[in-house]
Amino acid sequence: MSIVDKAFETQLNNIQKRTGKTLDELYEIIRKSGLAKHGEIVAMLKRELGMGHGDASTVAKFFFKPAGEKGVTPDEAIEEIYSGAQAALRPIHEELMAAIVQMGPFEIAPKKGYVSFRRKRQFAMIGPTTKTRVEVGLNMKGIQGTGRLTELPPGGMCQYRVNVTDVKEVDEELIAWIRLAYESAG
């Protein structure tokens, strides 16, 4: 089982523990609601069951993708992101994932060209920006930028950026910044 699949399995297990309901029971609540749009289902789960946004979004996502349904899995999306000229950057991504998985529950949302990580809010984005560099975008407050941690202009997807060109750069300093962003995201 891949790190991404393990993270989803852990998140789904945690959702069932927090709600006291199995996935089948959660899916039945969704079916009985008559709602058909992802956003409406997320809002209903948050309102009716007190779920956090990340948990509600994950349940809605898996509700719309029943077992056995064909579609792009997070692993397939990551495989596509790190293909061709950017394939050599995959070990950097895997090292970052291994650190993030240790932090606790979160939602993974693969996008075109990068992967978004969320709790109640997005806390990080990871993706290759060139064939030699992975960018780690972070959302956190009250941190002074450094030569390595670049502050970004307000209004963007992230508040900070760290460029990583070698797996050795996934060090204690970078992991501490990711943990701070993780904890800031609720």
Query: Do 94 and 171 fall into the same domain?
Result: yes
Query: Do 148 and 169 fall into the same domain?
Result: yes
Query: Do 120 and 40 fall into the same domain?
Result: no
CA-to-CA distance for 177 and 75, rounded, in angstroms?
A: 25
Domains of the chain: total: 2
pLDDT at 23: 86
Among candidate residues 64, 87, 114, the one where a domain is terminated: 64
DSSP, collapsed to helix, strand or coil, labels residue 96 as helix
Q: What is the pLDDT of residues 46-99, one digit of tens each?
A: 999 999 888 888 888 877 664 444 445 667 778 888 999 999 999 999 999 989
Task: Give the domain extent around 79.
Answer: 74-184
Closest C-alpha among 96, 105, 116 to residue 157: 116
Q: What is the pLDDT of residues 134-164, one digit of tens each?
A: 999 999 988 899 999 999 988 788 999 999 9
CA dihedral of 148, 153, 158, 161, whole degrees rounded to 10: -10
DSSP, collapsed to helix, strand or coil, labels residue 138 as strand
Q: Is residue 56 part of a domain?
A: yes
Q: What is the pLDDT of residues 9-22, one digit of tens each?
A: 788 888 989 899 98
Are 11 and 104 a contacting pair, CB within 8 Å? no
Query: Do 120 and 176 fall into the same domain?
Result: yes
